Structure 1
Amino acid sequence: MAKRRANGEGTITKRKDGRYHAAAYVYRPDGTRTRKFVYGKTRDEVAGKLTELQEKTRQGIPAASSTMAFGDYLTYWLAAVAPERLKPATLNSYEGLSRLYIRPALGKKKLNRLSPADVRLFLTEFKVSCLCCLRGADKERPEGKRNCCAVGHCCKRRPSARTVQYIHAVLRSALQQAMREELIARNVARIVETPTVDAKEVRPLDTGEVRMLLKTAQPHRLQALWLLLISTGLRRGEALGLTWSDVDLAGGQLRVRRNVQRIRRELIFGTPKTMRSVRTVALSKGCVRALTEHREQQERERKVAGPKWKPVPEHPTDLIFTTVTGRVTDPRSLNRMLTILCRDAKVRRVRVHDLRHTCASLLLAQGVDARTIMETLGHSTITMTLDTYAHVMDTTLRAAAERMDDALEFGSEEEGETAPDDDV
């Protein structure tokens, strides 16, 4: 005789239509318990879903239901599902957008009652609303802490088009998971058209500005870093995550395998942005010389620091660009350093990411093809490369057309005769 399952362990039953379903008691977001069902084509599939459900219950994670408030579902999704699928920086961004903007506006709506009109109206109002008033709009504030519009002095700060796109992405991703769990029949955020973003024109440094910047950076202890960023187009986190084992100075190349980002108060090492971002990049002779000198300088700093040279145990021990005590350089500190360099070099102020654009524009000016630039920068598709640097490529394309004119004119003068007819 089969042993009877204990109370709360869940049950698996075969339905008349041939499918299986299981039931188990789970926690609601309000702390009470309710019975929840999962379905599947095979017993093993349902057993797996049941085990996952019970594991979340043991961890105290509330289970989702179709009638729960959308704000509660967002909490569940961000706690139980998103961490397994999103990178830490993306998850941190999604949590902030949900807390500041989405929950105050849509949090009280029932998950199964959320409509395309609700999402469309929210995005429309969000685009034209004051950021000061959007943050925590559902909370009562003390008299002295009212939002700026309430006192008649709007700060006129509006969300960027990119922020509106991110908000839409959060809604789309969360509701797609609700569909997978069969809590809703359709993803209403997918029905609403994705907000468009007007692409900002990339304004890289020109050759003269680059030379002035690098000349000013020569006395800087991280001079090799600035040259590397301009020469290879590495992202800020990719460059600061490099170790000496990633670099082959004799072969003149480096391997991008990790990055470092600040998530709240921690510096976290992770994988690069996309699979294409894991790449091998060739180094110029100038970069090889600068890195060789930087290694010698780092050894001198290590000896001077003595016992104070204490890398964080969880971090790689042979980082290339460290502080004077051997710790990882905070990516945010590069922004301050570059601002000072631009001021001292008397060039216009640019972001660290603009050095990546500068690398691409310099390569295009030298006639390097878009596919090679894509591989160097680690773009996921060549379309991204072409779209981002279309305005820079106009000059290159014009030069190519002029070279074609020169070639054709040269050919006709050399031959000294017209082309024969096709029927001869």
Structure 2
Amino acid sequence: MTRPDKGTRTANGESSVFFSESDGYWHGFVTMGIKDDGSLDRRHCKSKSEQKLRKKVKEFEADREAGRLAQTSRVPTLAEWMAFYLDTICTRLVASGKMAPRTLDDYRSKTRVWIIPLLGQHRLNRLLPEHLDKAYSQMHLKGRSPSTVLKVHRILSRALSVAVRREKLNRNVATLIDAPAAADTEIEAFTREEARRILKAAEGRRNAARWSVALALGIRQGEALGLRWSYIDLESGVIRAWFQVQQANFQHGCEDPHACGAKWHRPPCKTPCRIHVHTPDCSANCKNRKHACPKRPCGKNCGEHARFCPRRTGGGIVFRPRKGRRKLTLQCPPELLPVLRAHRETQDLERLMVGDAWQDHDLLFPRPNGTPESRTEDWKEWKRLLKIAGVRDGRLHDARHTAGTLLIEQGVHIRVVQEILGHTRVTTTEKYTHVAAPQVRDATARMGAALWGE
């Protein structure tokens, strides 16, 4: 039997089986669907045995009816799959609100820095647990913290889980090894006296009420910067911290970001950039990369200039639900209400002075033009306050720890503290109990009185 004409075989989309005298094999062609370019997706198989070939054809047809399409080409490498996972799947999750833009930025960063250089060359079906063990060991040797290694493991595990669900893989090798353990971070809270000194240092500064809110309510940075006047009742003191504000990063929309950079990204460069190529007058071994923008375009991975790409995607101000599974409604302390009222009056005067340049986003703590304050500038202001107050250096998140610790020290029940801080699990709130020194001293004094007192 000779091979049928190709047009006849594909006209009705039915499977075809024939024997080829030229090579002595039985051949089978099965139509699985339509490719991205609109052409028919025809799969080929061959065998010396007609029976084995027909069995293989039936397997293809069964996969087609069940919606399981076999691979049309070689298995992708991990680098190729991560590119699809981040650019298509995760980007869709961000657009639907199921993933935070900052989370995707973190995924991209750790994939670019660690996953692709250490594991990207392996094909998905040839990735072994030993490859992951070796990669994590290299990260430890380079001084990366256990929490960073754990984040990389989780990103990789989630990407491979999606590959398994889509039948790109038979197993997720990330689940076959013990996940890297991240050490619990110690709670470092400011004392009551230090907290008061911080509030004293904030008096008279712009958005001073921002730090009263941080220390009194214990809300996170994104939640504080995302507070809006329409969600605050200055009469009853009810504060609905339901959202957080984020600045989503832009992504290149052009096919070749480097070519795009040559045309569009050069003019906006006004500050030194570490990743620019050397200027012509540099020696071959020059190690100083802090040059102003040269005549040539940016070097590889100049991601900060994506905002100038004419076809850029994403980016801009985003209000997202707060971290956690529920909406957080708080009761404002009575002493904080006059502080917020005075802050609103000051902001109204600021709006009048700015005039038409004011961009109203209804925010409590915006920039001088009304737009959301950046996390970086907010962090810098916190660091300045600590120096002015003369207290130890600390993280911005330590303000949240301070609020939880002060509540425990005042004898507030741990379940109430959990509700105020918005913790999903009480075990998270229990971390504050071991730092409440006044309660511990009181308990030990009572024990001493019970055993040795009169």
TM-score interval, smaller chain: 0.7 to 0.9
Unaligned runs of 5+ in 1: 1-6, 13-20, 54-62, 130-157, 312-316, 414-424
Q: Deviations over 1:24-61 (max 9, x none)?
A: 34469xxx996689999997x84xx89xx9xxxxxxxx
Cα distance in 2 for partners of 1:181, 1:271 equals 29
Post-superposition CA distance 1:216-248 (Å, at most 9, x none): 111112111100000000111101111111101
Q: Does 1:225 align with 2:225?
A: no
Post-superposition shift, 1:109? 0.4
Q: How does 1:327-406 map to 2 (within 5 A)?
A: 327-386=371-430, 388-393=431-436, 396=439, 399-400=442-443
Distance 1:192 1:390, change over 3 A: farther
Q: Does structure 2 retain, via aligned residues, the 8 Å contact 1:89–1:261?
A: yes
Q: Which residue of the partner structure matches residue 273 of structure 1?
A: 323
1:73 aligns with 2:81: yes
Contact 2:405 2:433 in 1 (8 A): no
Cα displacement (A) at 1:168? 0.3
- The answer (yes or no) to whether the contact 1:66–1:112 under 8 Å persists in 2 is no
Question: 1:269 corresponds to which letter in structure 2?
Answer: F
Letter in 1 for 2:396: V
Residue pair 1:66, 1:184 contacting (<8 A) in 2 also: no
Amino acid at match of 1:295: R
Q: How many residue pairs end up in the alignment?
A: 345
Contact 1:246 1:255 in 2 (8 A): yes
Residue 290, structure 1, aligned to residue 339, structure 2? yes
* Secondary structure, aligned partner of 1:225: helix
SS of equivalent to 1:200: coil
> Relative to structure 1, is the Cα distance of residues 40 and 212 closer, same or farther in structure 2, using a 3 angstrom cutoff?
farther
Give 1:106's match in structure 2, choosing from 119, 135, 138.
119
d(CA) in 1 for partners of 2:132 and 2:416?
41
SS in 2 for 1:352: coil
Q: CA–CA distance in 1 between the matches of 2:12 and 2:342?
A: 64
- CA distance in 2: counterparts of 1:286 and 1:224, whole angstroms: 12
Give the Å deviation of 1:23.
2.6
Q: State the match for 1:250 in structure 2.
A: 235
Correspondence 1:185 to 2:170? yes
Question: Residue 383 of structure 1: CA displacement?
Answer: 1.5
- For residue 236 of structure 2, give the secondary structure of its aligned residue in structure 1: coil
Q: State the SS of the aligned residue for 1:275.
A: coil
Mark the structure with the bigger radius of gyration: 2
Mapped partners of 1:364, 1:38: distance in 2: 64
SS state of the match for residue 167, structure 1?
Answer: helix
Q: Do 2:32 and 2:61's aligned partners in 1 also have CA atoms closer than 8 Å? A: no
Change (3 A) 1:362 1:246: same
Deviations 1:78-136 (A, max 9, x none): 1222232532111110111111111111111010111111111111122112xxxxxxx
* Contact 2:386–2:392 (Cα < 8 Å) also in 1: yes
* Structure 1 residue 350: Cα displacement: 1.8
Partner AA of 1:189 in structure 2: A
Letter of the aligned partner of 1:399 in structure 2? D
1:163-202 CA deviation, whole Å, 9 max, x = no partner? Answer: 1011000111011111111222211101111111122222
Of residues 299, 316, 319, the one that matches 2:363 is 319
Change (3 A) 1:404 1:188: same
Amino acid at match of 1:270: R
- Aligned: 1:213 with 2:198: yes
- Per-residue CA shift, 1:254-277, capped at 9, x if unaligned? 00121012333644321211213x
Name the SS of the counterpart of 2:170 in structure 1: coil
Paired residue for 1:120? 133
Structure-2 separation of matches of 1:68 and 1:260: 37
Give 1:301 shift.
Answer: 0.9
Whichever residue aligns with residue 184 of structure 1, its letter is L
Q: Is the 8 A contact 1:233 1:355 kept in 2?
A: yes
Structure 2 CA distance for partners of 1:362 and 1:330, relative to 1, 3 Å: same
Post-superposition Cα deviations, 1:362-411, rounded to whole Å, max 9, x if no partner, equal: 1111111222111111122111222x3253157535635655887x79xx
Query: C-alpha distance in 1, partners of 2:381/2:11?
Result: 59
Q: State TM-score, norm by structure 2.
A: 0.68
CA distance in 2, matches of 1:104, 1:355: 37
Q: Decide whether the 8 Å contact of 1:204 with 1:357 is kept in 2.
A: yes
- Cα gap change, 1:34/1:378 in structure 2, threshold over 3 Å: closer, same or farther? farther
**In structure 2, what is the Cα distance between the partners aligned to 1:400 and 1:255?**
36
Between the aligned partners of 2:123 and 2:40, the Cα distance in structure 1 is 19
Q: 1 CA distance for matches of 2:225 and 2:14?
A: 52
- In 1: Cα distance, 2:42 partner to 2:104 partner: 30
Alpha-carbon contact 2:31-2:40 (below 8 Å) kept = no
Partner amino acid for 1:170? I
CA-based RMSD of the aligned residues comes to 3.5
User: Would the aligned equivalents of 1:69 and 1:110 in 2 still touch at CA under 8 Å?
Assistant: yes
The alpha-carbon deviation at position 324 of structure 1 amounts to: 2.1
Residues 1:393 and 1:340: Cα distance change in structure 2 (over 3 Å):
closer
1:282-305: per-residue Cα shift (whole Å, max 9, x none)? 110121111111111111111111
Q: Which has the higher contact order (CA 8 A, sep 6+)?
A: 2
Counterpart of 2:32 in structure 1 is 23
Q: What letter is aligned with 1:310?
A: Q
Partner AA of 1:98 in structure 2 = T
